[in-house]
Structures are given as structure tokens and as C-alpha cells.
Chains A and B, each alone.
Chain A
């Protein structure tokens, strides 16, 4: 200590010699300071653990995908990755990747000539009615959160008879543009370069050729965390609850659904905070459940897709786009689905139906079809008003092969105008596409016992 104090003083005198006259005071001050030096109590185990952590961190940095298999850092790193992916989707467009166009946040429509998608066979959604008990409701992916607490009304056998009551109308168009989502495989291509650095100890990945990442699932490891599924084949992303980190108790009774305005505000906030691009989507609105009387804690907010400024509907006549499920019980967003590429191909098709045929199809339930219960079922009349031409999302096959293709076709949208007494199945519109074939052999509307229904109504 003496040596250290002496050296400090000597250096001090070199700066200001007048200090020499106060040496005794200075020695006491320095002694006092040395005596008051805190015991830093460093823990050598802490130093070792931090060293280990840094080595692991560095390994993660060296190989960005090794983290997926390192449980210790998987979730933190994965969370960073998914936000990069979601935010980065918009920047992938037109980066010149081979074998596909990058996923885009900006709408881009490429004209691919007439009838470019082949002969279109439209699939009906009618089967969904029969299989409804096995489905998750809410339109959004992973919307099964509320199933345990939702209340279904008892199924009543009701037959619906659709009748056109609107004004005369005419279909002016001879040709209409049909749109298809362009499968750019952009996420797969964009991630391909990252694959080069992917290493496993157990398998030599380098021995496999032409590799691509087709999907990844990433989870937030925190209370009320989310699980993000990136589908690089179809270029879409969905966000769902991380089941492991959300309370999964079976609740005895449902809670009241929150107000629509609150659900929309909550969905807006989630979308904003996670940088989800909404440049070709309209304002959010709460979707009416397809099954009237269905009591749900969840509300689905839909942000309608707008292609060239035209809102898109689904086969059931509801607005189609990005769906955000909001949980009233947990007061937070539970899922988001429909985040997808904004790249479209456009092809002109000849209009295949006239006004008379359109009304005929509409009165059979349109694209969604109709059902008839034999026996003592009640019959409810559904009145359809004057249609408007809008874009409708359909699943369609091209030519004679039923390969799923998401198409957006112009369709006559007949509004339900008489506020009928629905039982469990609710419709606000009936859809009749202007192009494509609706045939039973290709999954078209099922018109079960239509003749019997007609007979019942006339009796």
C-alpha cells in the first residue's frame, strides 16, 4: 500500500508541485479511499458461466440456423428471425431470385394472357356444412382456442329456399380478368442461401442436393407467446398461440365477447406492432360467424383483400383477407392468418353464364350449394336482391386435374335481403362466379333432393 500511495503522490506532484506541502493530508485521504474500497465479491462461477454463454452465443452467430437445435437459445433467436421474416417479406420482391418471384408487400399483377390457367373447375364449399362439427371455427388458422367453451345451438332440420326478388340486371362483360396468386416460392429461395451454413452433427446435410426450406415453425418462449408458421411453398405466414405457453384450462362457461370496436382496435395494434404489411387490405371489421346462434368468445376481424382496389369475398359471401382472431377471455390476439404474397397473375376469361343461368344457380344456393333435409324439416325462404359483380376467392382446378389453385374470379354477389330466420347456418350473400364450371363431378354445389324440395314448397 505504501508503494502505491507513494507512486500516486509522485505523479501528483509532477502535475502540481504545490501538493507536496499537503502530503500528510493527501496520504490520509488516499488511505481513507483505499480503506473504503468496496469488496466487489466477484463470483468466479459467474465469470465461467458467462464465458460459456458467450461461446454459445458466438456459435449461434457463426451459424444462424444452428440455434434452431440449441434449446437454450432457440426461442430468443427464433423470435428475432421471425420478425425479420415478417418484416422482410416486403423487401424480397424482385430481388431476382431464380425459379420464382420473391414475396412482396406491394401489389404486383402480371398479365399472363388469355385462359392462362386452363379450364377452370370450381370447388364448392358445400361439404363444410356436413362436416362442421369437426372444424375449427373463426376463419383464421388455429382458431380452435374457443371450441371448448363455445355453445352450439341444437341442430334443427331447416331447408332454405332461395328466391330471386331483385331487379332485372344484365351482364355487360364478355371477358373478365381472373387472378391467381403467384407462387413465387420466394421464402424458400430466399432461405436457400442460409441452408448452406446449416450444420448438424448427426447428419451430413451437405450430402443432399437441391435443398430448400419448405416450412419452419418458430415459437416465442414466453407467457402468451405465439407460434409462427412460415410456409415457403405457398408463400404465406400464419401466427397462432403457442399452446405450451397459453393457459389451456377447460373453462366451464364462456365469457362475453368483447365489443367489436375493441376487437378491431386490438387487431390493429397487433398488426402495427408486428409490422404486418396491410397495403392492399381494407379497414378491419368483425366478421359475422357463419353459424348463427354460435356463441363464441372469440371475434374474427377481417381485413379484406383488395385486388386493384376491388374487395375480395369468399365462397360464402363474407369478406376475405387477413383474419385476426381476438380472444375475449385472454383479452389479446390469438391468431393471424392470411399473411401472403401480394403477387398476382391475371388472365382474361370469357364469361360463361347469362343472367337467366346466373339467377338459376343463385336460387340453388350459388357456389356454396344448398342442402335439404328429408323428413319433417321446416322450410325457410331466403330472398336474394340485385347482384353486383365482385371478386371472389375460390379454390379451383385447372383443366381436368383438380389441383388446388387459389383464384380470384369475378362473380355475381346476390345479397340476402329479407333477413330470414336462420337456424345455425348464416349467409349474407350468395355467390355465382362468372367463369368456370360448377359441376358435381368436380366438387360443384350439391343440390340434394332439389326436386323433393320443390315438391314440398308447392304442396
Chain B
């Protein structure tokens, strides 16, 4: 990123922070289900972003995809370091009896949905969360996920198809009665 001075650079970064802080926190919370962990990882994300801000090249990707990528990798690093295994990306990949802290009410609230959401692919789940929970447009999601808008729509469609097929018959019947 080209800036006239460090002061301008700093102003730019603070604007970015103001714009993305809550979104990044939410994004991380959806992947951790734990307030303190989400705060720590949000801090880490922005400190990393600040340290690399000078080298950010907007010609190689959008700012939002850059900062979300840092957040995503920070979460992955957190779980992989914590569990000392390589196939965990976020809280959704943890087993039910995991001893990693999760907020109780979030765990309860997600109890039913989690059974189905955790069977989605990681990128599909991320798009569902961003589209439904965060209410972002596909254009915004495409910038965050480094994907095309059409690709995001396809991924969301596949996720919905999977959820339809995943929902057990008695749940669907119950849903349809209301």
C-alpha cells in the first residue's frame, strides 16, 4: 500500500480497524464460541495486520480478504497449536467432549444446528455464517473469502442442499407442521 507518510499510513489503518474490528471479532467468535479467545485472537489479528500493513498490495487482493485471511489463519494457528494436531481449523472441528473452553449459552443455542453445520465443508460453513448470520452480500463475501461472487453463490447453494439432505425426516416434518 502506498502512503505519503507513516502518519497517513496510521490513519488509514485506524479507519480499517474502525470498519472491521467488530466484524472480525464476530467472524472469530463464530469460529471459537468463546469470548476471551475471540478477543485474544482479534487482538492478534490486528497486531499482525498492522505489522504487515506496509507490505499489503491492493493489486493482489482486497483489503477485506486480506484481513479476514489473517483472522482465519490466526484461528487455525490457535487450534492447531492448542491441540497439537493438524486437521483442526476451528471450533466446529472439535469433538463434543473437547476440553477447550466454549461459552455455555452459545453451546446450548447451537446444539441442534451444530450437528448439521459441522458436517458442511469449512468454506461452505463460513459462507453460510457470513450470509445468514452476518447478512453480508455475496459480493462482500467474495471479497472476504478470496472467491468469485458466482463461486460463493454456488458454495452457498451446495451448503443448503446438504442441509436439506442432512435434516432428519422427523425434524423436517416437525418444521413443516409449523
A259 at the interface (CB under 8 A from B): no
Q: Determine whether the beta carbon of B154 is less than 8 Å from that of A15.
A: yes
B119 at the interface (CB under 8 A from A): no
A51 at the interface (CB under 8 A from B): yes
Q: Determine whether the beta carbon of A33 is less than 8 Å from that of B21.
A: no
> In whole angstroms, how far apart are the Cα atoms of A43 and B9 in the complex?
27
Q: Determine whether the beta carbon of B47 is less than 8 Å from that of A26.
A: no
Q: Determine whether the beta carbon of A29 is less than 8 Å from that of B47.
A: no
Q: Determine whether the beta carbon of B47 is less than 8 Å from that of A42.
A: no
- Residues 103-141 of B, flagged 1 when their CB comes within 8 A of A and 0 if not, give 101100110111001000000000010011101001000
Given the known inter-chain contacts A26-B164, A42-B26, please indicate yes or no for A36 contacting B110, CB distance below 8 A. Answer: yes
Q: Which of A57-65, A165-173, A285-293 contacts B (4 or more CB under 8 A)?
A: A57-65
Q: Determine whether the beta carbon of A29 is less than 8 Å from that of B10.
A: no
Given the known inter-chain contacts A40-B26, A62-B6, please indicate yes or no for A50 contacting B160, CB distance below 8 A. Answer: no
Q: Determine whether the beta carbon of B172 is less than 8 Å from that of A11.
A: no
Q: Determine whether the beta carbon of A50 is less than 8 Å from that of B167.
A: no
**A40, chain B: closest CB distance, angstroms:** 4
> In whole angstroms, how far apart are the Cα atoms of A34 and B110 in the complex?
10
A450 at the interface (CB under 8 A from B): no
**B104, chain A: closest CB distance, angstroms:** 12
Given the known inter-chain contacts A32-B112, A33-B113, A54-B14, please indicate yes or no for A8 contacting B132, CB distance below 8 A. Answer: yes
> In whole angstroms, how far apart are the Cα atoms of A30 and B175 in the complex?
11
Q: Determine whether the beta carbon of B172 is less than 8 Å from that of A25.
A: yes
Given the known inter-chain contacts A11-B138, A12-B160, A16-B157, please indicate yes or no for A50 contacting B38, CB distance below 8 A. Answer: no
Q: Determine whether the beta carbon of B47 is less than 8 Å from that of A54.
A: yes
Q: Determine whether the beta carbon of B113 is less than 8 Å from that of A36.
A: yes
Chain A: which residue is nearest B113 at the CB level? A36
How many chain A residues touch the partner (CB < 8 A)? Answer: 38
> In whole angstroms, how far apart are the Cα atoms of A33 and B46 in the complex?
29
B80 at the interface (CB under 8 A from A): no
> B14-72: which residues lie under 8 A (CB-CB) from chain A?
14, 17-18, 21-22, 25-26, 29-30, 33, 35, 38-39, 42-43, 46-47, 50-51
> A48-78: which residues lie under 8 A (CB-CB) from chain B?
50-51, 53-55, 57-59, 61-62
Given the known inter-chain contacts A12-B156, A42-B22, A51-B17, please indicate yes or no for A61 contacting B50, CB distance below 8 A. Answer: yes
A28 at the interface (CB under 8 A from B): yes
> In whole angstroms, how far apart are the Cα atoms of A28 and B22 in the complex?
28
CB neighbours (8 Å) of B110 from chain A are 36, 38
**A236, chain B: closest CB distance, angstroms:** 31
**A14, chain B: closest CB distance, angstroms:** 8
**B91, chain A: closest CB distance, angstroms:** 10
B78 at the interface (CB under 8 A from A): no
Chain B: which residue is nearest A18 at the CB level? B161
**B163, chain A: closest CB distance, angstroms:** 5
Q: Determine whether the beta carbon of B175 is less than 8 Å from that of A32.
A: yes
Q: Determine whether the beta carbon of B164 is less than 8 Å from that of A32.
A: no
A47 at the interface (CB under 8 A from B): yes
- Residues 1-29 of A, flagged 1 when their CB comes within 8 A of B and 0 if not, give 00010001001101110010010111011
CB within 8 Å of B: which residues of A?
Answer: 4, 8, 11-12, 14-16, 19, 22, 24-26, 28-30, 32-34, 36-43, 46-47, 50-51, 53-55, 57-59, 61-62
What are 20 A-B contacts with C-beta separation under 8 Å?
A15-B154, A19-B157, A19-B161, A24-B175, A25-B175, A28-B175, A29-B164, A29-B175, A32-B113, A33-B117, A33-B132, A33-B133, A36-B110, A39-B106, A40-B26, A54-B17, A55-B10, A55-B14, A59-B10, A62-B10
CB within 8 Å of A: which residues of B?
Answer: 6-7, 9-10, 13-14, 17-18, 21-22, 25-26, 29-30, 33, 35, 38-39, 42-43, 46-47, 50-51, 103, 105-106, 109-110, 112-114, 117, 128, 131-133, 135, 138, 153-154, 156-157, 160-161, 163-164, 167, 172, 175-176, 178
| 8 residue pairs, one from A and one from B, having the closest CB atoms | A28-B175, A36-B113, A40-B29, A38-B106, A58-B10, A37-B133, A62-B6, A15-B157
Beyond the given A12-B160, A36-B112, please list 17 additional residue pairs across the A-B interface where CB-CB is below 8 A.
Answer: A8-B132, A12-B156, A15-B157, A19-B160, A34-B133, A36-B114, A38-B106, A40-B29, A41-B29, A47-B21, A50-B21, A54-B14, A54-B46, A54-B50, A57-B47, A59-B10, A62-B6
